């Protein structure tokens, strides 16, 4: 909204006025896609909202903004400070149930060790799913950016955008990129379920371990599809946590990972999503779907890496999530024991420990 004169706003102003007049109780004004505004437009909207507030003090008007658009909430909040029945809601401050866990700093060690473990496999797998040198690539829900850094180094993309909604993870990612002198990765703060990116821009779109933590994976997939070029591919990875395994102490390990799946589901996250990838991609409209599984194990490299990953899981899953759910101490003790047994299996000279992952991709039809 960048009109030169207020007359240019006439028809938009009329729509807003008509809708406000037509509703009582609570009216929501959604500004999540309003990326740019000039003072002419803002003053015009402000005047309409203020008059509507004064005309009916019983009616609440809620402006829905997004933290992704930096100017939006502060500007509307200034306006709301003068009108008791005008409220501002930042839609993405609590927009999916597991948000506080995955956007927290304590998640960083998990993401670091996970990517270190999975890259050995994915480096080969990605080629089978169509990744090659010289493509425009987007890594959506990029976390701390380690995967983007690896893509940059090994696949020399023409463009590489990495988007996430965790400010802490993005700060970390930018720091790492600066330390390694990588200047061309476009780290972007954004909401993957409503991205401010144009349609049909990327040849290859990745979204790893993230559909499973969002309560509306279909919405995310729709966005991944939208930004992918026709003929391009969207690549996703997801887990099935209850299939994590280890020897010795397989029973204790199995019990704990069954509980992990239930714990995540309590927070509306589906860490059993891996085998559902084919259905999800099909329902989202992709064709030429490919699905494969791989098992990250303690034999892949240094078993200590595997053990570090499990310890990081234990810290967040037992130390934070189970506590938040209100689990009793006896449960948490048993829950922790399965992680400890998984670590033991990883470090045992005759032990075996595994973490299965589903990698899948689909082509956006021409
Ligand atoms: C389990 S982590 C995976 C991160 C990374 N892909 C990796 O494999 O290391 C999930 C990530 O999704 C991000 N995320 C979740 N919902 C998001 C959304 N709606 N928009 C952008 N990022 C989101 C979280 O901040 C977190 O960094």
Residues 203 and 292 in one domain: yes
Q: Calculate how far, in angstroms, residue 327's C-alpha sits from the geometric centre of ligand 1.
A: 26
In a domain, 253, yes or no: yes
In a domain, 188, yes or no: yes
Ligand 1 site-directed mutation target among 90, 164, 207, 355, most atoms within 8 Å of CB: 164
**pLDDT beyond 90 at 301:** no
Q: Distance between CA atoms of 177 and 186, rounded to whole angstroms?
A: 10
Q: Whose CA is nearest to atom 8 of ligand 1?
A: 208
Give the chain's domain count: 2
pLDDT of residue 93: 85
In this prediction, what percent of the chain has a pLDDT beyond 90?
Answer: 90
Q: Calculate how far, in angstroms, residue 210's C-alpha sits from the geometric centre of ligand 1.
A: 5
pLDDT of residue 161: 98
**pLDDT beyond 80 at 97:** no
Pick the last residue of a domain from 93, 109, 138: 93
- Ligand 1 atom with the smallest distance to the CA of 206 is 6
**pLDDT beyond 90 at 127:** yes
- Ligand 1 atom with the smallest distance to the CA of 96 is 16
pLDDT tens, 243-270? 999 999 999 999 999 999 999 999 999 9
Q: Do residues 89 and 65 lie in contact, with contact meaning Cβ atoms separated by under 8 Å? A: yes
pLDDT of residue 297: 97
Between these two residues, 295 and 107, which has the higher pLDDT value?
A: 295
Q: Whose CA is nearest to atom 16 of ligand 1?
A: 214
In this prediction, what percent of the chain has a pLDDT beyond 70?
Answer: 100
In a domain, 333, yes or no: yes
Residues 6+ positions from 323 with CB-CB distance below 8 Å = 332
pLDDT tens, 201-241? 999 999 999 999 988 999 999 999 999 999 999 999 999 99
Residues 76 and 112 in one domain: no
Residues 107 and 254 in one domain: yes
Residues 197 and 283 in one domain: yes
Q: Do residues 286 and 363 lie in contact, with contact meaning Cβ atoms separated by under 8 Å? A: yes
Q: Distance between CA atoms of 359 and 337, rounded to whole angstroms?
A: 29
In a domain, 327, yes or no: yes
Ligand 1 site-directed mutation target among 140, 143, 194, 218, most atoms within 8 Å of CB: 143
Q: Distance between CA atoms of 325 and 335, rounded to whole angstroms?
A: 13
pLDDT of residue 159: 98
Q: Calculate how far, in angstroms, residue 193's C-alpha sits from the geometric centre of ligand 1.
A: 11
Pick the last residue of a domain from 66, 93, 120: 93
Least confident stretch, 107-116, 140-149, 302-311: 107-116
pLDDT tens, 277-293? 999 999 999 999 999 99
pLDDT tens, 134-165? 999 999 999 999 999 999 999 999 999 999 99
Q: Calculate how far, in angstroms, residue 122's C-alpha sits from the geometric centre of ligand 1.
A: 18
Sign of the dihedral defined by the CA atoms of residues 207, 292, 310, 250, in that order: positive
Q: Calculate how far, in angstroms, residue 47's C-alpha sits from the geometric centre of ligand 1.
A: 39
Residues 6+ positions from 142 with CB-CB distance below 8 Å = 148, 162, 163, 164, 169, 173, 187
Residues 103 and 34 in one domain: no
In a domain, 61, yes or no: yes
- Ligand 1 atom with the smallest distance to the CA of 92 is 19
Residues 179 and 113 in one domain: yes
In a domain, 304, yes or no: yes
Ligand 1 pocket: which residues have CB below 6 Å? 102-103, 111, 114-115, 141-143, 147, 164-166, 169, 191-193, 208-210, 213-214
Ligand 1 site-directed mutation target among 97, 100, 101, 102, most atoms within 8 Å of CB: 102
In a domain, 326, yes or no: yes
Residues 141 and 49 in one domain: no
| Mean pLDDT of all residues in 37-56 | 95
Ligand 1 site-directed mutation target among 91, 165, 239, 359, most atoms within 8 Å of CB: 165
Residues 222 and 336 in one domain: yes
- Ligand 1 atom with the smallest distance to the CA of 237 is 8
**CATH number, domain with residue 107:** 3.40.50.150
Q: Calculate how far, in angstroms, residue 153's C-alpha sits from the geometric centre of ligand 1.
A: 21
Q: Do residues 203 and 136 lie in contact, with contact meaning Cβ atoms separated by under 8 Å? A: yes
Residues 190 and 270 in one domain: yes
Pick the last residue of a domain from 50, 78, 93: 93
Which residue range forms the structural domain that includes residue 53?
6-93
Q: Whose CA is nearest to atom 10 of ligand 1?
A: 210
Q: Calculate how far, in angstroms, residue 99's C-alpha sits from the geometric centre of ligand 1.
A: 9
Residues 6+ positions from 315 with CB-CB distance below 8 Å = 106, 109
Mean pLDDT of the chain: 95
pLDDT of residue 47: 95
pLDDT of residue 92: 87
Q: Whose CA is nearest to atom 14 of ligand 1?
A: 141
Q: Calculate how far, in angstroms, residue 354's C-alpha sits from the geometric centre of ligand 1.
A: 23
pLDDT of residue 101: 82
**pLDDT beyond 90 at 64:** yes
Q: Calculate how far, in angstroms, residue 261's C-alpha sits from the geometric centre of ligand 1.
A: 18
In a domain, 1, yes or no: no
Residues 16 and 115 in one domain: no
Please list, residue by residue across 279-313, b when 16 or more beta carbons sit within 10 angstroms of its beta carbon and e when fewer do: ebbeebebeebbbeebbbbbebeebebbbbbbbbb
Residues 213 and 73 in one domain: no
Residues 66 and 193 in one domain: no
């Amino acid at each position: 909204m960048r009109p030169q004169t207020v007359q240019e706003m006439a028809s938009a102003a009329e729509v807003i006025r008509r809708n406000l007049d037509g509703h009582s109780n609570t009216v929501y004004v959604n500004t999540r896609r309003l990326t740019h505004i000039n003072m002419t437009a803002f003053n015009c909207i402000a005047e309409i909202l203020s008059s509507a507030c004064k005309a009916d003090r019983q009616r609440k008007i809620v402006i829905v903004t997004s933290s992704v658009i930096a100017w939006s909430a502060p500007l509307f909040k200034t306006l709301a400070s003068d009108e008791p029945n005008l409220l501002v809601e930042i839609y993405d401050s609590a927009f999916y149930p597991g948000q506080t866990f995955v956007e927290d700093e304590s998640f960083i060690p998990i993401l670091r060790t996970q990517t270190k473990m999975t890259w050995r496999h994915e480096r080969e797998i990605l080629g089978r799913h169509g990744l090659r040198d010289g493509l425009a690539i987007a890594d959506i829900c990029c976390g701390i950016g380690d995967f983007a850094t690896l893509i940059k180094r090994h696949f020399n993309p023409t463009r590489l955008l990495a988007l996430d909604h965790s400010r802490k993870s993005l700060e970390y990612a930018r720091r790492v990129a600066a330390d390694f002198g990588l200047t061309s990765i476009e780290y972007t703060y954004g909401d993957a379920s409503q991205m401010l990116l144009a349609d049909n821009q990327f040849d290859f779109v990745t979204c790893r371990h993230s559909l499973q933590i969002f309560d509306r994976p279909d919405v995310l997939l729709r966005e991944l599809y939208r930004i992918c070029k026709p003929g391009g591919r969207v690549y996703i990875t997801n887990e099935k946590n209850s299939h994590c395994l280890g020897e010795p102490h397989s029973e204790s390990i199995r019990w704990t990972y069954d509980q992990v799946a239930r714990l995540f589901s309590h927070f509306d996250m589906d860490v059993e999503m891996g085998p559902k990838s084919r259905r999800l991609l099909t329902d989202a409209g992709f064709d030429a779907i490919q699905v494969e599984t791989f098992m990250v194990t303690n034999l892949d490299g240094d078993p200590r890496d595997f053990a570090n990953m499990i310890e990081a899981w234990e810290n967040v899953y037992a130390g934070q999530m189970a506590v938040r759910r209100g689990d009793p101490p006896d449960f948490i003790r048993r829950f922790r024991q399965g992680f400890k047994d998984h670590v033991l299996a990883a470090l045992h000279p005759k032990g075996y420990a595994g973490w299965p992952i589903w990698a899948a991709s689909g082509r956006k039809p021409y």
